[in-house]
Amino acid sequence: MTHKHSYTLKEIADFLEVELLGDPQCEIHGLGTLNGAAPGQLSFLSNPFYTDQLSSCKASAIIISEKFAESCPGNKLISPAPYVSFAKATGLFAELASSESQGAIHESAIIHESAQLGENVSVAANVVIEAGVSIGANSVIGVGSYIGESSSIEKNAKLYNGVSIYHKVSIGENVIIHSGAVIGADGFGFAFDGAASVKIHQLGGVVIGDDVEIGANTTIDRGAIEDTVIGNGVKMDNQVQVAHNVKIGDHTMLCGCSGVGGSTTIGKYCIVGGGVGIIGHLKIVDKVHIGALACINQSISEPGVYTSGTPQQKTSDWKRNAIRFQQLDSIAKRLKELEKSTDKP
């Protein structure tokens, strides 16, 4: 659907492929929360906790499941997954920069004569595109971004300002990369000869699938010999570190400040919580959910939820428990001795 300032409810319902109950000609010009929406806006209910806000909501229409439809007195869009429908609706009202739909090439951009740019590619100021680069149609390259030699970007990509793509990086369709991200820097590889660290030159590349989103200041290192591989639909938050030779399966999500050590393989449909550390050379199967701040130092062979770290406590409680933790070994030894003594006839 073409972006515009407002839509009728029928247009939105058709776009979302949901059922409309109410006035099909009602004009919608934005989105709002149940508590904060104004007339002319579209809201949604996905969490039953907020059903008490339906009666006072001023939105002109609400995306809602059939289960709660009777609690909604006005116009409604009936969706089996309201939050997913809301997510799709946000795309209708996303603000586009003026240059994004123009296919403009800024005069300050430096583009090697051998680079190939598809139809309607936009290149902003101070971009550098090296030899042998190919960029697919309708892609947008933000201010000050760099694309290294022989890298490829498929159609409909969006690179925000200041993205660095090193040489021989392959990026799929519909990929979004936020400011400050670095794709294809050398992995951290050194061999110690007894006196100094000898650099292992990183000879692989990075392969990124379709529909991937990479957060601001996230880094994905190139492989040492084989490529680092990011599957289709992977989503990475800000300040994520992915080391060399890592393989990440389709539709896995990595939350902010998480880090994955070299040569680790993560399966499909996994969720890695914020601040998680995963050491190198591990294998994690599909559909694993790792809680925030966990330290993963062993492979995970069964789907499920995994957690480590210390939950929030009052400082006074934490101090007492920290002392007890230091005493666990001696307590265990005393307990073993006690068990031995009670086992004697």
Catalytic residue ranges = 244
Residue 226: CB partners within 8 Å, gap ≥ 6?
204, 245
Whole-number Cα distances in Å, 307 to 32, 266, 300, 324: 35, 16, 12, 21
Q: Looking at this protein, which amino acid is placed at residue 187?
A: G
- Bridge-based pairing of strands 247-248 and 265-266 is parallel
Whole-number Cα distances in Å, 61 to 15, 29, 79, 272: 15, 11, 13, 35
b/e per residue 50-64 (b: at least 16 CB within 10 A) = eeeebeebebbbbbb
Residue 324 near residue 330 (C-beta atoms within 8 A): no
Whole-number Cα distances in Å, 172 to 5, 101, 207, 233, 260: 30, 20, 8, 10, 22
Residue 163: CB partners within 8 Å, gap ≥ 6?
142, 145, 146, 177, 178, 179, 180, 181, 182, 183
Q: What letter does residue 164 receive in the DSSP assignment? A: E
What SS3 state is found at 66? helix
Write the secondary structure of 84-139 as one string of H (helix), E (strand) and C (coil): HHHHHHHHHHCCCCCCCCCCCECCCCEECCCCEECCCCEECCCCEECCCCEECCCC
Could you give the count of Cα atoms lying within 13 Å of 44 in the half-sphere of its Cβ?
A: 19
- What is the rounded CA–CA span in Å between residue 289 and residue 269? 9
Count of positions (residues) in the chain: 345
**Tokens 């880094």 sit at which residue?**
219
